[in-house]
């Protein structure tokens, strides 16, 4: 015989399992089988979905994803390093040596996305 708390937990689990099966059946009956599979479930070689806002503005308004070579749109001049969440403006000593993961229209856009300016170097 199980203690009362264990019996209650077992009953809750059984009820939840029944509810999950009922909801799955209801979705199938109502035509929810047309839902799209997640991109990771797409067949190999299938083209990646295009035009999604997250791809165009990965860090919100004023951001753009970097091209395969690290380049960005001409009007976006602030480079973002997503690994360190640091942005670099033109004129910074590390600007040319930094490969951008994301580009921003301005430092304000980068900061709004959670990026920070590089720390000052001590001389």
Is residue 112 helix, strand or coil?
A: helix
Which pLDDT score is estimated for 6? Answer: 47
Query: 58 - beta bridge partners?
Result: 60
Which pLDDT score is estimated for 120? Answer: 81
Query: pLDDT (tens digit, 9 = 90+) per residue, 72-86?
Result: 999 999 999 999 999
Report residue 88: phi and psi, to 5°: -130, 130
Beta strands at 78-81 and 86-88: parallel, antiparallel or unpaired: antiparallel
Which pLDDT score is estimated for 90? Answer: 96
CA 122 to chain centre: 35
Confidence band, pLDDT 50/70/90 cuts, at residue 4 = low
Report residue 91: phi and psi, to 5°: 100, -20
């Amino acid at each position: 015989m199980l203690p009362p708390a264990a019996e209650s937990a077992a009953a809750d689990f059984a009820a939840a399992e029944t509810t999950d099966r009922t909801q799955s059946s209801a979705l199938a009956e109502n035509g929810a089988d047309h839902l799209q599979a997640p991109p990771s479930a797409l067949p190999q070689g299938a083209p990646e979905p295009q035009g999604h806002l997250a791809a165009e503005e990965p860090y919100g308004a004023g951001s753009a994803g970097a091209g395969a070579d690290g380049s960005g749109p001409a009007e976006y001049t602030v480079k973002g390093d997503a690994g360190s969440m640091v942005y670099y403006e033109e004129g910074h000593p590390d600007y040319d040596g930094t490969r951008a993961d994301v580009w921003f229209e301005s430092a304000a856009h980068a900061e709004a996305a959670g990026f920070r300016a590089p720390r000052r170097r001590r001389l």
